Structure 1
Amino acid sequence: MSELAQAIAALLAITNPVGALPVFMSITEDSDRQTRRRYAALASGVVFAILALSAIGGRWMLEAFGISMPAFQAAGGLVIVLMGLEMLQGSPTRVQHSDRPISEEDSILVPFAMPMVAGPGAITTVITLTAKSGSLAGDLTVVLAVAITALILLLVLALSASAGRFIRGRGGVLVVRFMGLILVAIGAQYLFDGVKGFFFAT
């Protein structure tokens, strides 16, 4: 599998647009189609910005904290494995609501775009991918994967009215659990590569 395809697969599994769709529909249930599409574009844009910045600045952030690439790759792989196991167990996506009334647009930004979609797991995945690549070309590949993932998220959210019928049925459960399995496999690979890199480096 090419680096780009692997990065896209990892990001789609961790951001899980299908799993996030019911929350998006809940937030925008009183919105018309045009407004819903605008919110879809807003959420996708925020997700792209957060993950692209993480891809560009992730390596320098690790250097600032004195964290080696193999160590972060192993830690990131472990986090991804744990998130994948949670998805395999069918744990529902939860959003905490405060008593303070907030607008739909605020809810799209927080908590939907961040931390639900572009959360710690997604940010860890992006930084792990750039740490693994170790080159500017690799970083640009990860940014391209982030852009493609954000575009897919946009399409899924924009088609929420028709896709919602599928998500509410067994199809949504199957997709979430399949993505969980993919995450476990990807995370395990990152973990093993990180441990191997750490011992060879020392």
Structure 2
Amino acid sequence: MNLTLKDIFSVSLILFSVIDIIGAIPIIINLRQKHGSIESGKATIYSGIIMFLFLFVGSNILKLFGVDVTSFAAAGALIMFFLGLEMVLGVEIFKSEPDESNAKSTMVPLVFPLIAGAGTMTTLISLRAEFGKWDIGVGILINLIVIYLVLRSSSLISRILGPSGLMVARKMFGIILLAIAIKLAKKSFGME
């Protein structure tokens, strides 16, 4: 096990910018308002499991299903696009299953694609070419701590912004999410 502080710092910053949990705060608040609550601990754990799984066997899993990283990124872009449409238009696309509790129904858009989405997964595959697995693992753990803290404090942030601030933030970040989804799709289809 060979850990390098500089590499851990680099990996942490790269993952932090790709996951963009701070930029996702309006989306998280929107999900909390829509479903009543978010299971912060479970969402963080599920995200961590997906990230670590993808770090160690991600490219093999995609190969097993005959899916390339580009197609995976395009699928993640579609989910992000529909999530952005929900926010901007005020429609419900991600419907809860009848037997799901409200908190459980937030896991799909929250864990994937928001936290451990296609961008995060493709970044993890790319990081393996430059950094050691242990450095990347510690970088993932650092990001999971930040993710948990943001998820836990989203109701406080919601109270600070108030209803009008939340509505403006939701619409604005919905448009940004649509733009990110379109950019990711363009890159996936080689149009950039």
TM over 0.5: yes
* Aligned residues of 1:27 and 1:107 also touching (Cα < 8 A): yes
Structure 1 residues 177 and 62: alpha-carbon distance in aligned structure 2, compared to 1, 3 A threshold: same
1:130 is matched with 124
Structure 1 residues 164 and 140: alpha-carbon distance in aligned structure 2, compared to 1, 3 A threshold: same
2:58 is matched with 62
2:6 is matched with none
Measured after TM superposition, the shift of residue 19 of structure 1 is 2.1
* Aligned residues of 1:73 and 1:131 also touching (Cα < 8 A): no
Structure 1 residues 148 and 185: alpha-carbon distance in aligned structure 2, compared to 1, 3 A threshold: farther
* Partner deviation per Cα, 1:82-119 (whole Å, 9 max, x = no partner): 3444455535454534556x7xxx421x112x113112
**Aligned Cα root-mean-square deviation (Å):** 3.6
Instruction: Determine which of 112, 118, 125 is the counterpart of 1:119.
Output: 112
User: Per the alignment, in what secondary structure is the counterpart of residue 179 of structure 2?
Assistant: helix
Structure 1 residues 153 and 80: alpha-carbon distance in aligned structure 2, compared to 1, 3 A threshold: same
Measured after TM superposition, the shift of residue 64 of structure 1 is 5.2
The correspondence of residues 19-168 of structure 1 with structure 2, limited to 5 A, is 19-28=27-36, 43-62=39-58, 65=61, 67=63, 72-86=68-82, 89=85, 90=88, 92=91, 94-97=93-96, 106-108=101-103, 110-112=104-106, 114-120=107-113, 122-125=115-118, 126-134=120-128, 135-136=132-133, 137-165=135-163, 166-168=165-167
1:36 is matched with none
* Aligned residues of 1:17 and 1:156 also touching (Cα < 8 A): yes
Q: Distance in 2 between matches of 1:124 and 1:172?
A: 20
Identity %: 8
* Aligned residues of 1:79 and 1:121 also touching (Cα < 8 A): no
Structure 2 gap segments, 5+ residues each? 1-9
1:34 is matched with none
2:24 is matched with 16
Match of 2:166, as an amino acid? I
Q: TM-score, normalised by structure 1?
A: 0.63
Measured after TM superposition, the shift of residue 48 of structure 1 is 1.1
Structure 1 residues 72 and 164: alpha-carbon distance in aligned structure 2, compared to 1, 3 A threshold: farther
* Aligned residues of 1:11 and 1:149 also touching (Cα < 8 A): no
Q: Distance in 1 between matches of 2:156 and 2:59?
A: 39
State whether structure 2 residue 171 is matched by structure 1 residue 173.
yes
Match of 1:133, as an amino acid? L
Q: Which has the higher helix share?
A: 1
* Aligned residues of 1:51 and 1:118 also touching (Cα < 8 A): yes
* Aligned residues of 1:59 and 1:130 also touching (Cα < 8 A): yes
The number of residue pairs the alignment matches comes to 170
